[in-house]
Chains A and B, each alone.
Chain A
Amino acid sequence: MRALILGGAGAVCKEATRDLALTSDFEEIAVADANAAAVERLLGEIGDPRLRPLSFDANDYDGMLRLFPQYELVVNGLPFQFDLTVNRACVESGVNGLDLSSLDEQFGLHAIASEKQMIFVPGVGATPGVTNLMVARAAEQLDRLDTVEIAFAAFRSLAPAPGLLTTTLWEFDPEEEARQQAVYEDGAWHHSPPLSGGKHFQFHDLIGEQATYFVPHDEVYTLPRSFPSLRRVSVRGCFPPRVMELMSALLHTGILGLDTIQLDGREVSAMETIRALLWQNPVSKQNPVWAYGLVVEVTGERAGRQVLHRYRNHHPPQQEWGGESAYYKNVGLPLSIGAQMIARGEVRGHGVLPPERAFRVAPFFQALADRGITIEETVEELSPA
């Protein structure tokens, strides 16, 4: 079986590439990335003859249609702006695939994908991804799900890679359309501005307690559809305190909400200017702790009693887990695990399915544990009285 990994030498996805080389039995793993030098370096480091470099243009849709049918699986690690295009090309080519985040439009391809007896799973990283499966784990044990609160702490620098800087800016953009539907409550999605809905969560020991805020995230769309009894779903997130301070300051200047600004008599894009400034600033690359914290709290009913299930991830510290990789592995390893489960046919159906409907939880979490990521489950219930 042959796999194609898109953006496979990028900051996040190279961890998936490494893991595929180490743990999968693919005959061939083609690593496609716009950065040919990065691919060459990565392949040299890994030294697995099954890895093959491939030039690839993410903007060439016809090229995708020619390339994808040569593989049995497409692992998409490109920035989220390409998710829909890659998903569409997979469905059109009839090739299974998965990616790291999801756009709602991707699920519009479900019917065609089902007809073709193929599967595409959007959002198989940390969040979405592991978080969806935490909710699925609770659902396995509850008679009814009532609420889901997801919190993440992305402890990385502000701009370790261009795609991740874009993600950060996106999460603080007050004009971002997705913010109109950031929180699900009582059958509808509601607006939430950046830095709203503040709540403290206790993450694993590398991160500790952090203030988190509403972020428009994929789980808010997929979970209420997968578990229709849900009355409320929200995702809150945070970055390291220094990044949060900086982004908060930028937000309060109002510049993140502007389309354009005047600079030296020229009209330039406000967001692009900020992006360029932050990208060039060495401080944007600094960060003392590289880690990823997830907390998911699910309330519901079991045997007539109200129960709270709380999930928390744990992973080795950066000193033992490859420095900055301690952050990236939390996203890249689930992608590799998901890819291998799809390749082995360990999926629960066909179509375009979110992780909570595509994968069985136990083997997925066991595969995470085998790689150093353990999931802690806490169940709170009232006394029998």
Chain B
Amino acid sequence: MRIIVLGGAGTVGRAIATDLARQVDTVVVADLDPEAARAAAEGAGARAESASVDVRDRPALVKILQGAAACVNSVNYYFNLDVMQACLEAGVPYLDLGGLFHMTRRQLELHADFKARGLTAVLGIGSCPGVANVQAGWLAGMLESVDSVRIYTGSTQDEGESLAAPYAIQTILDELSMPAMIFRNREFQERPPLGEEEYFTFPDPIGRAKTRLSLHSEVATIPISLADKGIRECSFKITTFGFAEPALRKLQFLVELGLASTEPMQVDGASVRPRALLLQLLGRLPQPQANWSKKTLKAVVTEVRGKAAGQEFLLRAETTGPLEPSMGDLGGSALVAGPPAIAARWLGQGKLARPGVWPPEQIIEPVPFFEELATRGFTTRLIRTQTVAPAGPMKGAAVQAPGS
């Protein structure tokens, strides 16, 4: 089985390739930067080889994809449609790590094409989106009707103030600057980025932490997937995008100044894209030293409210685990990298042989998926809350002690 990892020299791409190299015959670490691809392949193990490819070069991309059992798209989400088209042409199953809501919605439009070609595509199968979607599908499956799905993700915080990006900086800047989408009263609605702050209790040792809305593709697909269960609300909230709180505040300030804008502006007669400038500056910052401790932990929590057998339930799934120290600087990506590695192998094995374009909640079997994650050190817990005896008309209401 040969699996291609596009963007395989990136932080998450390397972690995916390393995971896959333990499980499949050949992993091709493909990246725009040939040197980085070579280094990443060497780091991933003996079953990894490298390749250089520009995903904007369709013929070159199709050529490298041909014959592969699956394509893991770990390049920036801006190129998701390009890569999907190349997969259609090459006849290769596809998966990616998310499309930040709007791109995901456009990708779903390729459903008929993939179906006609007899190919499967899985959209957004990392941690968020990914684990969160599978949790939502799992919990909703236990209910007859679903009222709301609320997703939260957080991690124990680094105490430093480094602005070095924990994952794709372009995506982070989009999350910080683009309006968040929520599904409320059965309608998709825009909200300001990082709006609707809420303190949420994560499993220990993260504990109570501030979360805020962010543009994410779980919200793009789950309301559609669970429409037949009557879902009224869906939201995604995140703590600090993997930054320490002070670092996030600094970055937020820079975004508010307009430095995340991709619109060109004139400076001393020259056209400058503020985001390009910001990326240049961020790129110059020293990378932080990995400083793993046993307490370091990431959690994805999904809460689903709904009814079964006439009773209301609050179901909560928690997937937690250490930011794996044995993976060195890839440890922080382990929960993002595990799901695409699992899904890619399953695609290659024909386990996800349902042609079309699917969000994870519609195609990934939850229990085997969580079992696979458990072998990577990530535990999934199910927490069910219900009222034991629902209150009827209150007895005793007529007799109150006056003034007592």
* Cβ–Cβ contact B383 & A323, under 8 A: no
Tell which of B387, B395, B403, B404 touches A370, judged by Cβ atoms closer than 8 Å. B395
Query: Whole-angstrom distance between the alpha carbons of A311 and B387 in the complex?
Result: 9
- Residues in A with CB closer than 8 Å to B398 are 22
* Cβ–Cβ contact B370 & A383, under 8 A: yes
Q: 1/0 per residue A324-351: CB within 8 Å of B?
A: 1100010001000000000000000000
- Residues in A with CB closer than 8 Å to B380 are 382-383, 385
* Cβ–Cβ contact A377 & B385, under 8 A: yes
- Residues in B with CB closer than 8 Å to A321 are 400
Residue on B nearest A202 in the bound complex, by CB = B201
* Cβ–Cβ contact B381 & A375, under 8 A: no
9-residue interface stretch from B5-13, B84-92, B343-351, B371-379: B371-379
Tell which of A311, A379, A384 touches B384, judged by Cβ atoms closer than 8 Å. A379
Tell which of A23, A45, A376 touches B396, judged by Cβ atoms closer than 8 Å. A23
Query: Whole-angstrom distance between the alpha carbons of A374 and B370 in the complex?
Result: 34
Contacting B at CB under 8 A, from A280-330, are 311, 316, 321-325, 329
* Cβ–Cβ contact A381 & B385, under 8 A: no
- Residues in A with CB closer than 8 Å to B403 are 323
Residue on A nearest B391 in the bound complex, by CB = A369
* Cβ–Cβ contact A383 & B401, under 8 A: no
Query: With contacts A371-B396, A372-B394, A378-B383 known, is A323 near B389, CB below 8 A?
Result: no
Query: With contacts A333-B396, A370-B395, A380-B381 known, is A45 near B371, CB below 8 A?
Result: no
* Nearest CB on B from A31, distance (A): 14
* Cβ–Cβ contact A324 & B387, under 8 A: no
Query: With contacts A19-B396, A379-B384, A380-B383 known, is A325 near B391, CB below 8 A?
Result: no
Query: With contacts A324-B404, A377-B385, A379-B383 known, is A22 near B396, CB below 8 A?
Result: yes
* Cβ–Cβ contact A22 & B399, under 8 A: yes
Interface residues of A, count at CB 8 A: 38
Query: Whole-angstrom distance between the alpha carbons of A369 and B401 in the complex?
Result: 20
Chain B CB within 8 A of A236 CB: no
Q: 1/0 per residue B65-95: CB within 8 Å of A?
A: 0000000000000000000000000000000
Chain B CB within 8 A of A188 CB: no
Residue on A nearest B375 in the bound complex, by CB = A385
Chain A CB within 8 A of B39 CB: no
Query: With contacts A22-B395, A371-B395, A371-B396 known, is A376 near B382, CB below 8 A?
Result: no
Chain A CB within 8 A of B270 CB: no
Tell which of A23, A368, A385 touches B374, judged by Cβ atoms closer than 8 Å. A385
Residue on B nearest A382 in the bound complex, by CB = B381
* Cβ–Cβ contact A370 & B394, under 8 A: yes
Tell which of A333, A366, A377, A382 touches B379, judged by Cβ atoms closer than 8 Å. A382
Query: Whole-angstrom distance between the alpha carbons of A137 and B395 in the complex?
Result: 23
* Cβ–Cβ contact A376 & B392, under 8 A: no
Query: With contacts A14-B401, A383-B370, A385-B374 known, is A374 near B396, CB below 8 A?
Result: no
Residue on A nearest B403 in the bound complex, by CB = A323
- Residues in B with CB closer than 8 Å to A46 are 399
* Nearest CB on B from A380, distance (A): 4
* Nearest CB on A from B372, distance (A): 8
Query: Whole-angstrom distance between the alpha carbons of A23 and B396 in the complex?
Result: 8
20 more contacts with CB within 8 A, not counting A18-B401, A382-B381, are A22-B395, A311-B388, A322-B404, A362-B388, A362-B389, A370-B394, A372-B394, A374-B390, A375-B389, A376-B386, A377-B385, A377-B386, A379-B383, A379-B384, A380-B384, A381-B381, A383-B374, A383-B379, A383-B381, A385-B379
24 sampled A-B residue pairs with Cβ under 8 A = A14-B401, A18-B399, A19-B395, A19-B396, A45-B402, A316-B394, A323-B401, A325-B400, A333-B396, A365-B388, A368-B389, A370-B395, A371-B395, A374-B387, A374-B390, A375-B388, A376-B385, A376-B386, A376-B388, A378-B384, A381-B382, A381-B383, A383-B374, A385-B374
